[in-house]
Amino acid sequence: MRIFALLALLTLSGCRGWTSTEPPVHPNPNMDTQIKYKPYRESEFFEDKRDMRPRVDGTVARGDLANKDQPVITYKLMQRGRERFNIYCAPCHSAYGDGNGMVGRKLPIKPTTFHSDFMRTQPLQHFVDVMTNGIRTMPSYKHQIPMEDRWAIAVYVRALQELGSKEKK
Ligand code: HEC
């Protein structure tokens, strides 16, 4: 019995803990202490001193290749876009695209109008990306709308914008 008490005492006294300036014993370092770049740190190697490298021009993200193929813009494509837009987008963005659709006006965050200077200067690709990935509180529509139709809708959004800027004048 006494031996147990002694062992317990020894074990507990071992738990005192003390500080040391020596590095901890690290029998198996694996890759814990490798030399590497971390986000937003400085690099001595690159001229601009950034360790996060900018994307090389023309890089296409994995799985994104299909997005890049803008179809030839035809009247037929735009008509298809109008039909799809009125089904999928108009309830929120309105048939005119000012964000005042029946559903949209009830949302806590209003759908963006397409008739702002910012929206007018966006490339068609941006609208396709928004439909594919969603943006902020707007969900993705990639499962409902096939890629060709996303392009068709983007073309129609551009047509609405043209209409809007003509009316403004
Ligand atoms: C359920 C409502 C809803 C539907 C349907 C909807 N949107 Fe939106 N959309 C929103 C809301 C809300 C925002 C603003 C999101 C935010 O700012 O959080 C938005 C924002 C956008 C933007 C702005 C992107 C930017 O750069 O800020 C675009 C473009 C857009 N929608 C396009 C579309 C298109 C095209 C469709 C049809 C395929 C569509 N939306 C369908 C609600 C909707």
2-33 per-position pLDDT tens digit: 787 777 766 666 655 678 888 778 888 787 77
Residue 119 CA: which ligand 1 atom is closest? 26
Query: Domain for residue 61, yes or no?
Result: no
* pLDDT at position 165: 87
Cβ contacts of residue 167 below 8 Å, gap of 6+? none
Question: Is 122 within the bounds of a domain?
Answer: yes
CATH of the domain at 117: 1.10.760.10
Measured CA to CA, the distance from residue 138 to residue 165 in angstroms comes to: 25
Alpha-carbon span 137 to 98, nearest angstrom: 17
Assess contact for 38 and 51: CB atoms under 8 A.
yes
Write out pLDDT tens, residues 66-77.
666 788 999 999
Measured CA distances, 28 to 24, 31, 33, 134 (Å) = 12, 9, 11, 45
pTM, full prediction: 0.71
Residue 62 lies in a domain: no
For residue 112, is it within any domain?
Answer: yes
Give the phi and the psi of residue 50 in degrees, each rounded to 5.
-90, 135
For residue 26, being part of any structural domain is answered with no
Domain boundaries, position 128: 73-168
Q: According to the model, what pLDDT value does residue 42 have?
A: 92
Distance 142 CA to ligand 1 centre (A): 13
Is 151 contained in some domain?
A: yes
49 found inside a domain: no
Identify which has the larger pLDDT, 113 or 30: 113
CB 88 within 8 A of CB 141: yes
Total domains in the fold of the chain: 1
142 within domain boundaries:
yes
Ligand 1 atom, smallest distance to 145 CA = 38
Residue of 80, 86, 112 best suited for mutating to test ligand 1, as the one with most atoms within 8 Å of CB:
112
